Amino acid sequence: MKLSSVVLCALAPIVGAFAPIAVPSTPATSSSSSQLAAMPDGGVVITGSAGGVGFAYAGEFMDRGYDVVICDVKDCEAAAAALTARHPNGKVYHTKCDVSDASSCEALGEFAKDKLGNIGYWVNNAGINGGRRALTELSMQQVETVVKVNLLGIFYCTKVAMDIMAEQEGFTGHIFNTVGSGVKGGGTPGYATYGATKRGLPQLTASLVKEIDEGVQGYEKKKTKGTIQVHSISPGMVFTKLLLDDSTPELRKFPFGVLAAQPEEVAADLVPKILAQKTNGGLVEFLSTDRVLVKFFERFVLQKKSEYIDDDGNVIKMPGEQYDADGVRALY
């Protein structure tokens, strides 16, 4: 009997809560090492990439010879310098962008076209959670900010990317929208606003896939010079500010200590899957069903301890690394 079957039987009552979302598509497969030498198929834009998994994505793309535009609401100069020093196979360009502002997103698009020429991959990674609080304890400004960054920001950037990719004659551009906790429905107590914004993204992506493939009923389907594909990307739980901010020892022990991974590990897994995705409306994910089952088996059956969280729910700080007050490791 396969390991996955054994674990599924043993852990069926709790696996469902963490199972990945289902997206009807042809699954992406990891690329071979020969892809490192392949001619890049257009440049890459990554929002929210001054740190965290966005920063790690950029490094993985650059290792494969891709030129990358990184952007964030804060200055990205130090991030760009670190990427240049560590990943000499690709070039990195940096700019500021507030994804909650439409004009800022349009400026990002112009910057990316100027620096990259054709854009092959646009990863909508920017997102915030607004802090772990009950909705009644949040100000209207906090709610508005989360919705504008997580939902409107995806709309704005996707619209900008689609307009650019439509004009790239004979070229295919891929847009990846980041999903997170709340995407399957159910409760996200403490993160009601965040969860609601993530719940809306599969609907957006599914609608765009239909519009691209079939058009809108009653209107003539417009032909574009370039091909556009829109996908979902699910990095799962990543040890970043987004995850650890306002967390408790109990949350850090479980589920973080069991399922969360470092940004570099997630990016190394997902970037080859991004590059291998060829079907419109696809999903690339880190916490696949098999990976969730293995992590549960290692923790609850083999009693394997977390590399990153101790028995008291504290972040394990590695020698030589720098951490902030929330236990978030500095990437540069």
Residue 92 tokens read as 């990195």
CA separation for the pair 290, 7 (Å, rounded):
10
| 106, 84 Cβ separation under 8 angstroms | no
What type of residue is 227?
Answer: T
Q: Domain residue spans in the chain?
A: 3-23+38-301
Please tell me the pTM assigned to this model.
Answer: 0.89
| DSSP calls for 272-291 | HHHHH--STT-EEESS-HHH
Quote the pLDDT of residue 24. 40
**Angle, vertex CA 207, rays to CA 169 and CA 213, nearest 5:** 40
Q: What is the CATH number of domain 3-23+38-301?
A: 3.40.50.720
Angle between helices 77-86 and 52-63 (to 10 degrees): 40
- 40 pLDDT band, cuts 50/70/90, is low
| Catalytically active residues, by annotation | 194
Residues 163-188: pLDDT tens digits?
999 999 999 999 999 999 878 778 89
CA separation for the pair 68, 32 (Å, rounded):
21
Chain centroid to Cα 247, Å, comes to 20
Quote the pLDDT of residue 182. 78
CA separation for the pair 85, 42 (Å, rounded):
22
Pairing of strands 283-285, 227-234: parallel
Is residue 159 pLDDT above 90, yes or no?
yes
What is the DSSP code (8-state) at residue 309? B
Phi/psi at 278 (nearest 5 deg)? Answer: -125, -10
CA separation for the pair 317, 174 (Å, rounded):
37
Residues 59-73: pLDDT tens digits?
999 999 999 999 999
CA separation for the pair 332, 330 (Å, rounded):
6
Q: Where does 97-226 show beta strands of DSSP type E?
A: 119-124, 172-178
| 44, 108 Cβ separation under 8 angstroms | no
Residues 101-121: pLDDT tens digits?
999 999 999 999 999 999 999
Q: Which of 38-42, 70-74, 272-276, 314-318 has the lowest mean pLDDT?
A: 38-42
185: three-class secondary structure by DSSP: coil
